[in-house]
Amino acid sequence: MIVEEKDIFETYGEIISGCYPPEEAAVKLRCAKYFSEYRKRKAALVNFGATKFFTGYFMRWLPDKVCMEENSVIDAFYPSADEFVRLSDTLTGSSEYDAFKMIDRRVKYESARLMHLKKNIMTLNNSFIISKIPCIIDFDRYREKRNSSPAEKDSGLFRVAELFSENSAVLDRLDGGYFIRLFFDASVMGLIRKGDLLDIDIGRREGGRWRLEEIKACYAPEKYDRIIE
């Protein structure tokens, strides 16, 4: 049976709209939009039926694409995908849910932690990026950032090397050979873990101290890479 992605998404929307209160249904639909977008972009590269297709979604795609979504949306990504995949099986006659059930149990919690971590860092940093799907920018904050751009900049992947005094993290620039220290509040320090990888933009201002300009994504420590291989 050939069923278009659009048809699955619309059917999913009709079902949850009839089964859940409007506010909860809106959250599930928001989550389904992310999954549907991932499926359209990645299905040609990674077999939809493979477990790594799903773990890649939770451990790579979402921590990159999710910016300032509500906590209710972040916490609903996993159960929404569960429902969506089961519905897809029903409509297409496939058995993708068998692969979904094989996802490492840590993925659900690590994925949510990374999204909450990124959001808290962005909130602390007064970020202008609201969402990557669709791309929404707070232009007032964007202009403010542009007008106060530092003279020296860098960007890329940094590994959390150490956590200190419950208020800061030392980051190791991958392939760059230097370390920086960034200060965070309790909302970030409660979620960040040694080994986390942060895709960030930094700038050096007067006084020589590096400051975080923007964060693009948070990824789990490299020891979790085997989950999505």
% of the chain exceeding 70 in pLDDT:
88
**Mean pLDDT on 108-137:** 90
Give the span between the Cα atoms of 197 and 99, in whole angstroms.
Answer: 27
pTM given for the model: 0.88
| pLDDT value for 47 | 58
Question: Where does the pLDDT of residue 173 fall: very low under 50, low under 70, confident under 90, or very high at 90 and above?
Answer: very high
Residue 193: pLDDT band (50, 70, 90) is very high
Q: For residue 219, name the pLDDT band (cuts at 50, 70, 90).
A: very high
Distance, in Å, from the CA atom of 225 to the CA atom of 155, rounded to the nearest integer, reads 22
Predicted local confidence at residue 1, as pLDDT? 46
Q: Is 160 left (phi over 0), alpha (psi -120 to 50) or beta?
A: beta
Q: Please give the torsion angle defined by the CA atoms of residues 121, 109, 79 and 227, in that order, rounded to the nearest 10 degrees.
A: 110
The rounded mean pLDDT for the chain is 87
Per-residue pLDDT reduced to its tens digit, 21-64: 999 999 999 999 999 999 888 765 555 557 888 999 999 999 99
